[in-house]
């Protein structure tokens, strides 16, 4: 496992050469394969963890029906490990690891030792109930790095961090927490952070992307129980970047708590292309979906819909320095009736290209000690609207908002739902492309669609272009039974990060066939249109002109932007060249009384679909 390489260093002088050999040690990980779903013993995940050393990998080869591993105590991680639960060597169904009684057993699934690095992918974790401590599924105290990819954590409980407790510590650099393509759902805390509690002892970088936080609950109704999905607190530099995430159905606790989705107290929070929907609080106190404390916050291209709290800022309550750009804030509620959409509590909030409308009672509130920088091109209907001083902002009740009443996928590209602008909306082309203070106006909307012409106000761009579209040119094509062909082309709208394959089939191979069974686009040929030729098939039957479809199957790719994109199918018609008829050859025939004969022939002009009987008499 541990080997060395020799590096040869040659030093030249005028008359001699010195050869110096330096020996360096490199570590190459060993792979341990788990074949048993037992709690302990040979070939189990517990034994693999015990046997592994820094840099080692753990994979699974578990048969169908046995993919759930029940542990009777926490799996202790004391080395830097990578655990891949995809189970590709086994049934192909990802592994689930759960405690003896999820939500009840008094231990987590994973307990990380101090100063460790752990990467987990393609796995479901169901933790216990750590009622007096932290991390119902994962305890990561003084952790250098925790990386989760395609991991679901659910049904876990703790006092702090119902699903995950992460305390970042790295004595020689930034601690790392990375959560991508994950689901954090149905977890509980009796205090802060029903989904995740993040604190840091040293500088820490957190990235959360393509992840859903749903139905996580801070259960206590008294005391300051912040962060229905995420709670953060920093003792050093803490930067968090959230992109393409959904927060829905999360509940913060009572007693002055805040952050029905996120309570942030740190250095820098960036939220991009994300949706906050139906997050709430379980008592008569607390602030909105985003409770923004700490230093700096940048909220961009995000949608806040039907969130509620009992104090101020149903969607966002802002302290510190906050910049809000191209956001949609609609139908949120604050119990005190102030800033049901946005409440600026202190510090400076800079806002541009943002839609704050149809929130309960009022849309906007600003405390006297706070500052609002109105960079224009906002629509705000009610509340302290006099604070919006830019001539380019639209204030007061509007009759032509023309905003969709429900969240929808809207030809989703970035994975989060949005509220669409409908034809005739005052927000269409109502924005501006100049920077919002230090934040650049995004060139795409929340869905990932390219903004066209003048940017719209809000997170949705009416008429935007999907950069991950597959364009098919050619339809209503004509082929003939005589063999005439037709063609269409297919091209990607942007460069993929990995090969994109599209299967092609004919709905009726007796009428038309394709010359290719699939198309593959790479990073080298993605922009070159590929041609597919279809040929008519002759069936000799007078069946008329027949319509058929060339089906382009959903794209297959490890590039998540293109995988699953369904190109437009191509319609075609095969023109018939057959006519039903009976041809008789021979007439004016002569026979004689002495028995000479004559003959004629009878033939069908096209193939029959059933026997044809012609009486002759």
* pLDDT tens for each residue of 433-470: 999 999 999 999 999 999 988 999 999 999 998 888 89
Which helix (DSSP H) or strand (DSSP E) does residue 45 occupy?
helix 45-51
Mean pLDDT of 341-369: 97
Give residue-wise pLDDT tens across range 544-595. Answer: 899 999 999 999 999 988 998 999 999 999 998 877 888 889 888 888 888 8
Residues 6 or more apart whose CB falls under 8 angstroms from that of 200 comprise 167, 168, 169, 175, 234, 235, 236, 237, 238
| pLDDT score recorded for residue 154 | 98
Give CA–CA dist 91/89, Å, rounded.
7
Closest CA to 139 of 154, 120, 158: 158
State the average pLDDT for the chain.
92
Give residue-wise pLDDT tens across range 285-313. Answer: 789 999 999 999 999 999 999 999 988 99
| pLDDT score recorded for residue 87 | 98
How far apart, in Å, are the Cα atoms of 424 and each of 280, 327, 359, 402? 33, 19, 21, 7
| Range in 126-135, 138-147, 515-524, 591-600 the model is least confident about | 591-600
Give CA–CA dist 515/303, Å, rounded.
46
CB atoms within 10 A of CB 603: 9
| pLDDT score recorded for residue 96 | 99
Give CA–CA dist 538/575, Å, rounded.
9
Could you give the domains of the chain? 470-575 (2.60.40.10)
As beta bridge partners, residue 147 has 119, 178
Residues 6 or more apart whose CB falls under 8 angstroms from that of 281 comprise 228, 251, 252, 253, 254, 257, 260, 308, 309, 310
Higher-pLDDT residue of 580 and 177 is 177
For CA atoms 260, 290, 192, 120, the dihedral sign is positive
Is the pLDDT assigned to residue 16 strictly greater than 50? no
Ranges 162-176, 353-367, 541-555, 582-596, most confident: 353-367
Tokens of residue 578, six digits: 């057959």
Residues 6 or more apart whose CB falls under 8 angstroms from that of 47 comprise 40, 41
Q: How does residue 24 score in pLDDT terms, banded at 50, 70 and 90?
A: very low
Tokens of residue 585, six digits: 């050859």
- Work out the burial of residue 235: count CB atoms within 10 Å of its CB; fewer than 13 is exposed, 13-18 middle, 19 or more buried: middle
Give CA–CA dist 461/447, Å, rounded.
9
Is the pLDDT assigned to residue 370 strictly greater than 80? yes
| pLDDT score recorded for residue 539 | 84
Give residue-wise pLDDT tens across range 97-110. Answer: 999 999 999 999 99
Give CA–CA dist 342/380, Å, rounded.
10
Is the pLDDT assigned to residue 20 strictly greater than 60? no
- Work out the burial of residue 339: count CB atoms within 10 Å of its CB; fewer than 13 is exposed, 13-18 middle, 19 or more buried: buried
Cβ atoms of 203 and 237 within 8 Å: the answer is yes
Q: How does residue 171 score in pLDDT terms, banded at 50, 70 and 90?
A: confident
As beta bridge partners, residue 503 has 518
Give CA–CA dist 520/518, Å, rounded.
7
Give CA–CA dist 118/128, Å, rounded.
20
Give residue-wise pLDDT tens across range 406-431. Answer: 999 987 767 899 999 999 999 999 99
What are phi and psi for residue 519, nearest 5 degrees? -125, 145
């Amino acid at each position: 496992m541990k080997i060395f390489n020799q590096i040869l260093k040659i030093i030249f002088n005028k008359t001699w050469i010195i050869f110096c050999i330096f020996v360096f040690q490199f570590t190459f990980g060993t792979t341990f394969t788990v074949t048993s779903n037992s709690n302990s013993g040979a070939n189990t995940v517990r034994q693999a963890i015990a046997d592994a050393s820094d840099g080692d990998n753990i994979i699974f080869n578990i048969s169908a029906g046995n993919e759930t591993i029940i542990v009777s105590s926490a799996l202790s991680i004391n080395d830097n490990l990578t655990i891949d639960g995809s189970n590709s060597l086994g049934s192909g169904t990802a592994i689930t690891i759960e405690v003896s009684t999820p939500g009840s057993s008094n231990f987590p699934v994973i307990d990380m030792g101090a100063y460790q690095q752990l990467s987990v992918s393609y796995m479901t974790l169901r933790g216990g109930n750590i009622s007096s401590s932290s991390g119902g599924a994962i305890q990561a105290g003084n952790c250098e790095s925790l990386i989760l990819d395609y991991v679901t954590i659910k049904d876990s409980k703790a006092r702090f961090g119902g699903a995950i407790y992460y305390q970042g510590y790295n004595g020689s650099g930034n601690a790392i927490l990375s959560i991508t393509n994950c689901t954090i759902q149905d977890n509980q805390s009796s205090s802060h952070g029903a989904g995740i509690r993040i604190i840091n002892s040293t500088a820490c970088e957190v990235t959360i992307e393509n992840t859903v936080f749903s139905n996580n609950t801070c259960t206590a109704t008294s005391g300051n129980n912040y962060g229905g999905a995420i709670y953060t607190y920093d003792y050093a530099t803490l930067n968090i970047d959230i992109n393409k995430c959904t927060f829905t159905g999360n509940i913060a606790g009572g007693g002055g708590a805040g952050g029905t989705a996120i309570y942030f107290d740190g250095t820098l929070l960036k939220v991009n292309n994300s949706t906050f929907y139906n997050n709430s609080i379980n008592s008569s106190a607390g602030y909105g979906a985003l409770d923004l404390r700490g230093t700096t916050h940048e909220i961009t291209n995000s949608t806040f819909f039907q969130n509620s709290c009992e104090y101020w800022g149903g969607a966002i309550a802002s302290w510190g320095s906050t910049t809000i750009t191209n956001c949609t804030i609609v139908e949120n509620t604050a119990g005190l009736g102030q800033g049901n959409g946005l409440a600026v509590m202190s510090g400076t909030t800079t806002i541009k290209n943002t839609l704050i409308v149809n929130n309960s009672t009022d849309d906007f509130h600003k405390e006297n000690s706070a500052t609002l920088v109105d960079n224009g091109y906002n629509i705000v209907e009610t509340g302290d609207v006099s604070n919006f001083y830019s001539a380019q902002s639209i204030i007061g009740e509007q009759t032509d908002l023309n905003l969709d009443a429900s969240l929808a996928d809207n030809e989703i590209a970035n994975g989060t739902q949005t509220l669409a602008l409908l034809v005739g909306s005052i927000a269409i082309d109502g924005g501006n492309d100049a920077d919002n203070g230090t934040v650049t106006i995004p060139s795409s909307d929340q869905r990932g669609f390219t903004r066209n012409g003048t940017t719209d106000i809000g997170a949705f761009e009416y008429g935007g272009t999907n950069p991950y579209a597959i364009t098919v040119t050619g339809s209503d094509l004509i082929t003939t039974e005589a063999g005439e062909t037709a063609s269409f082309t297919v091209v990607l709208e942007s460069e993929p990060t990995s090969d994109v394959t599209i299967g092609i089939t004919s709905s009726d191979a007796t009428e038309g066939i394709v010359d290719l069974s699939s198309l593959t686009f790479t990073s080298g040929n993605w922009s070159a249109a590929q041609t597919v030729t279809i040929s008519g098939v002759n069936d000799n039957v007078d069946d008329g002109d027949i319509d058929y479809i060339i089906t382009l199957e959903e794209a297959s790719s490890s590039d998540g932007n293109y995988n699953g994109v369904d190109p437009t199918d191509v319609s075609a018609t095969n023109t018939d060249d057959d006519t039903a008829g009976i041809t008789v050859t021979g007439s004016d025939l002569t026979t004689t009384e002495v028995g000479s004969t004559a003959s004629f022939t009878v033939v069908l002009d096209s193939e029959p679909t059933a026997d044809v009987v012609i009486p002759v008499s």
